[in-house]
Structure 1
Amino acid sequence: KNGSMTLAGIDNALKAAGTVFDFIGFDACLMATLENGLMLSQYADYMIASEETEPGVGWYYTGWLDKLSLNTSMPTTEIGKNIVDDFVEVCNKKCRGQKTTLSVTDLAELSATVPGELTGFAKAANGMIQNDEYKTVSDARYNTREFAQSSKIDQIDLTDFAKKTGTAEGKKLAQALVDAVKYNRTSSSISDAYGISAYFPLKKMSKVDQAADIYDDIGMDSEYTSCIKSFASLQLGGQAAAASHGAPGSPLPSLLGTLMGSSQGSSMMADLFTGMLTGSFKGLSGMSSSNTGFLSDRAFDDKKAENYIRDNSLDQSALLWSRDSDGSYKLMLSQDQWSLIHDLELNVFYDDGEGYVDLGLDNVFDYDDEGNLIGEYDNTWLTMNGNVMAYYHTDTVEEEDGSLIVSGYVPAFLNGERVELLLIFDDDNPQGAVIGARPVYEESDNDTVAKNAIALKDGDKLEFVCDYYSYEGEYQDSYYLGEPLILDMNEGIKIANMDIGKSVRAVYKLTDIYEQSYWTQVIP
């Protein structure tokens, strides 16, 4: 909670140990990374680690240690398989619904085969970014399996990403990664997790410089570093161009009826980049001269970037509800415009007479036969035992049989500790179920993510939390929402959509290929 060990720190500790291990295992979150594996390759034969956050029960040591005690000459790969199987099976019983991953990776093979393929992949992706194919890379990145999504640490499955770029180099990298991972298992609630993850920016560009520094420290491939810098630079350019044309960066103008914005005209990208390099970051939340050194290393031509962004940007002036011939309201965009949108979520606010309570984001929307977004809202929202709560959708997984598993979280305090209540909606729980609570650490530079699954128990005190905005459109603070809820497990926990009255205002949030957010007018 108070800090985490960097890869360089782990490197120094293992170097001081002076031992080459059969395997190094991490009963911890998010450690099955390429960066970690390449660093560990000089200290161990195998890495056993999870791509995703780990459920709070952690590894089940009794099973695999008992088997090892009966056969102390057991091959390392078999030990690893036993660890993985026990972990996934115990988690499926005790933490059903939580995302679970664990893999065994041959570090000698990883270090011998993957770096060369990674270089080829990074060169190809960088070439695409510089030659009017940024959208292809951005689409692949958006559709790739991402881990610890609510924390926005930009850790993704590298095999899945390599495949989804659709390049020959990507296929070669994916094959090398799959070959190096000797055993891998996941829970049914997660897909496209092949055993090795890596950092690739999208949600939080303020960490790009930090990642580049870490890559320098551990000797990571320079082509990959160049690729993520190019991607982040063009992404930030797209956001800057949108901000210069009135993109609000907040839903408040929509709520207040002051939503403006124009179609994307010609923005002088050289001027925008120069402005950012000299400290001008208007409309770019979280960015400053202290975390945008990557802009100085951008490999593309500014004029070419300007033309690309102009031709591949959302027309803000088109985000208006139109009345259709059947009397319903629709958002009518061209197919080209819809193709620029990665994410669409319903954003609901409650007017309490003094300002707006933000109730969160849900993946609730519908289209007509012509592909137009239907502007309807039934004034319902998620509640727990009759208590309204803020809810944020994070992930939807489609299983082989076509059924869906939807995940999300509710910000709250559990017995005085800040947590995210983890919710799942599936065939067994169509109305939703709480599968645990994950502690939320105060914001820090290390992005430490806690293990999941504090189990809720009888007598627990839940206090829901929400963001609050004034009528002037200013964020006030995060406040408690409603009265505390004391759990009575005999009565159980009931999740339900309930009518929350007419004092609600709903908008749709659209997120484009540059991770720039836009909001529609209030749904009529």
Structure 2
Amino acid sequence: MRRNSMKRKIRRFLAVLLSTAMCLSLVACGDEVVITEDNTQNAQVTEVTEQQEPASEVQEEDGSWAVYWYLCGSDLETNGGFATTDLDEMLQVDLPENVNVVIQTGGAAVWQNEYMDPAKIQRWLYNSEGLQLLEEQDTANMGEAQTLYEFLAFANENYPADKVAVTFWNHGGGSVNGAAFDEIYGYVSLDLSEMYQAFDAVWPADTDNPSLELVGFDTCLMATIDVAAVFQNFAKYLVASEEVEPGNGWYYTGWLGALADNSGMNGEDLGIAICNSYYEGCEAVGTQDQTTLSVTNLTKLTPLLDAYETFGQEAFVAATEEPGFFAELGRAAAQTENYGGNTREQGYTNMVDLGHLARQTAWMIPSAQNVSDALDDCIVYRIGGVYRSEATGLSCYYSYNGDIDDFNGYIDMGTGVAFKYLYAYELTGELADGGEEYLESLDIQELPEIVTLADKDWDNAPLDVNDEGISYLSLGEEANDVLAGIGFSLYYVDPDNDQMMLLGTDNDLTADWENGIFYDNFRGVWGALDGHLVYMELSYESDDYNLYSIPILLNGEAYNLQVAYDFTAEEWSIIGASQGLDSSGMASKELRLLEEGDEITTIWQLASYSGDDDFEMYTAEELTVTADTSFGEAPLYDGSYAMVFEMWDAAGNYAYSDAVTFDCADGEIYTSVY
């Protein structure tokens, strides 16, 4: 709807017609939101039925290790055989007698090996005697708490050890959507409350003396403060990735081999081995540029949770005192490293790096430094690629898209209460049930009304052109208190053939926030793959580099090509291709590197010039990847173009300026404003 509105706007502007004001506003969800001190642990989930008593704890340390591997194969195994690859990596390790790996397999429609049966849940043991099938049963949903509980109870009862690690293998979806998306059962996943319930039924929650040495996620997006808050009740260490993992995932030969060589290691040592071998494995196949993996000492997490809650409380108080707080926070979040995409085409995970957000907001929230200090204390190790240089080990929630349904998921799964009230206020202008008591606890007498784009008359805001031919938008000082960001959308227009083409979005503007004036810095070039212009979206902006996402067909399948622009080197690079989020919130685990011979079809967003139809994806040009394939900038084709300044606020409202139109001919630009 939003893009169709922009299309109509450009058409009207190009025709020099008057238009009525239009500003999209947040549509609130009708579901009632209730915030409690511990939503994650108290959320209603299917009750776990305990079928057996867990084994008593090992009384004397004997140096033994057990890894309980919850291997939900999903489409990763069906389509790519990635689980089979990791099982093969495990089989390369000769384990000593005091190390057992207990595995449950399921959740995939097809297994790319002759051992696993997709029609059954199977339990396996890998030890010094090799791989053995222990038992099998009718298929069950790996995305349900009961299935997880039964595996954990079985492993704990039959294969206890001095030190135990529980690892998950599958897709991940961050704090809101969890992990273990079962392909057979419609990609239902385990959310954090279900994980808590299953673990608690086997090892009663105890932050002072957790039963497990380590919990690990060989999945995407699960190194979050909310995940850490759940598992501090059960384990000493957490190993997980803030970012989407590439398809190669953890390198099982590496870290299991390290454990086999030194079974006396603790959870920290094992976590470091997992991180190092993972990064080495990524380097071996060229997927390291956007990797993250961290080891969190969960026994030191409580000070971080306390600092995070205070951080949220101070932010809430500031929001009630400073009219422009949410706009400033939104601009800080835009400059904060975020994970999983967060663009229209890729979908929104709404996960940002916690430490980077604290640094970006330290000037406005004093306790941000305490968050950074506490985070440094509990993150004992981390690795990161060149385009994930700001990763500090754990991410947190920030709503980039203003989606209320997604926010309600965070209400249910997130830790603490301060940020839940803060974001409820930001997105709706109101508080959830219990908000009056929360205001009273902070000695806040009333909740001021938030001024958003929906309250401003900035839709259709006029553009001007200065003596140098640069177009600019002048909104005044109030823009600093309202706008969370500003960019532009670029269109190719062809009235004679009744066509409009949306080329994408960028932030190539010069912003004077103090005076609310924004200058076009457009140079007449656009992103191109081997000289073919493409549709592209800005996914992350920083002082060092920008990241962009480009929808393509790769050998006939839909992907998003990830590219980066390095401001220091003034160079573009191709990172790889991924498939973004699906409707369930599941993140693609495969980062697909381009290979010689790959067939790429570029995708353009087209609509008619005269009608009210929405922009739709159309295949455009085909090219074959060669050894010299590269991404760069190319001059715009000769023809007519339109640029619209796009404004947004922290509540998810958008407004659009008048269009600046220009003609390109032989590399020259001729600009006009309507």
Bigger radius of gyration, 1 or 2?
A: 2
Q: Distance in 2 between matches of 1:452 and 1:429?
A: 28
Do the aligned partners of 1:52 and 1:99 also contact (CA within 8 Å) in 2?
yes
In 2, distance between residues paired with 1:429 and 1:310? 38
Q: Which one-letter code corresponds to 2:316 in the other structure?
A: N
CA–CA separation in structure 1 for the residues paired with 2:256 and 2:631: 40
Cα 1:412/1:52, change in 2 over 3 Å: same
**How far 1:159 moved relative to its partner?**
2.8
Deviations 1:386-417 (A, max 9, x none): 3221011111333xxxxx32211111222222
* Cα pair distance change 1:393/1:67, threshold 3 Å: same
Following superposition, the deviation at residue 27 of structure 1 comes to 1.3
Aligned residue among 461, 475, 479 for 1:337: 479
Aligned partner letter, 2:274: I
Structure-1 separation of matches of 2:419 and 2:476: 35
2:646 corresponds in structure 1 to 509
The answer for the alignment partner of 2:502 in structure 1 is 358
1:383 and 2:528 correspond: yes
| Aligned-partner Cα distance in 2 for 1:502–1:298 | 55
Consecutive unaligned residues in structure 1, runs of 5 or more: 235-272, 274-293, 399-403
Instruction: Tell me the number of residue pairs that the alignment of Structure 1 and Structure 2 aligns.
Output: 452
* C-alpha displacement of 1:320: 1.8
- 2:196 pairs, out of 8, 11, 28, with 11
AA aligned to 1:465 is: I
Residues 187-216 of structure 1 deviation map (CA, whole Å, 9 limit, x = unaligned): 22124321111223232322111221234x
Higher strand share: 2
Contact 2:502 2:604 in 1 (8 A): yes
Q: Does the Cα contact within 8 Å between 1:312 and 1:340 map onto a contact in 2?
A: no
* Aligned with 1:498 (options 621, 635, 646): 635
Cα deviation per residue 1:412-438 (whole Å; 9 max; x = unaligned)?
222222110111222797452322110
Aligned to 1:319: 461
Pick closer, same or farther for the CA change 1:373–1:438 going to 2, 3 Å.
same
Equivalent position to 2:292, from 101, 107, 132: 101
Counterpart in the other structure of 1:413: 553
Name the CA shift for 1:408/1:522 in 2 (closer, same or farther; >3 Å). Answer: same
CA contact (8 A) 1:29 1:52 kept: yes
Q: CA deviation at 1:502?
A: 1.3
Alignment partner of 1:152 out of 348, 351, 362:
348
SS in 2 for 1:331: strand
Find out whether 1:65 has 2:261 as its counterpart.
no
Q: What RMSD in Å do the two structures reach over aligned CA positions?
A: 3.3
Report the 3-state secondary structure (helix = DSSP H, G, I; strand = E; otherwise coil) of the residue aligned with 1:483: strand
Q: Are the counterparts in 1 of residues 330 and 650 from structure 2 also a CA contact under 8 Å?
A: yes
Please state which structure has a larger fraction of its residues in helix: 1
Q: Distance in 2 between matches of 1:132 and 1:374?
A: 27
After TM superposition, the score normalised by the length of structure 2 is 0.60
Question: CA-to-partner distance for each residue in 1:40-93, whole Å, 9 max, x for gaps?
Answer: 122221000111112232222333333322211023212212222232344345
In 2, the alpha carbon distance for the partners of 1:303 and 1:470 equals 49
Residue 453 and residue 128 in structure 1: after superposition, are their counterparts in 2 closer, same or farther (change >3 A)?
same
Shift of 1:29: 0.8
In structure 2, runs of 5+ residues without a counterpart are 1-74, 76-182, 205-210, 661-671
Structure 1 counterpart of 2:367, from 163, 169, 180: 169
Matched, 1:222 2:359: no
User: Which residue does 1:463 correspond to in 2?
Assistant: 601
User: How much has 1:96 moved relative to structure 2?
Assistant: 5.6
Contact 2:287 2:591 in 1 (8 A): no
2:542 pairs with 1:397: yes
Change (3 A) 1:429 1:94: farther
TM-score by structure 1 length? 0.76
Which whole-Å CA distance do the structure 2 matches of 1:428 and 1:143 have between them? Answer: 17
Read off the aligned partner of 1:467 and give its amino acid letter: Q
The corresponding residue for 1:284 is none
CA separation in 1, counterparts of 2:526 and 2:358?
38
Q: Is the 8 A contact 1:64 1:79 kept in 2?
A: yes
Return the offset for 1:298: 5.8
Q: Report how far residue 33 of structure 1 moved.
A: 1.0
CA 1:146/1:328 → structure 2, altered by over 3 Å: closer, same or farther?
A: closer
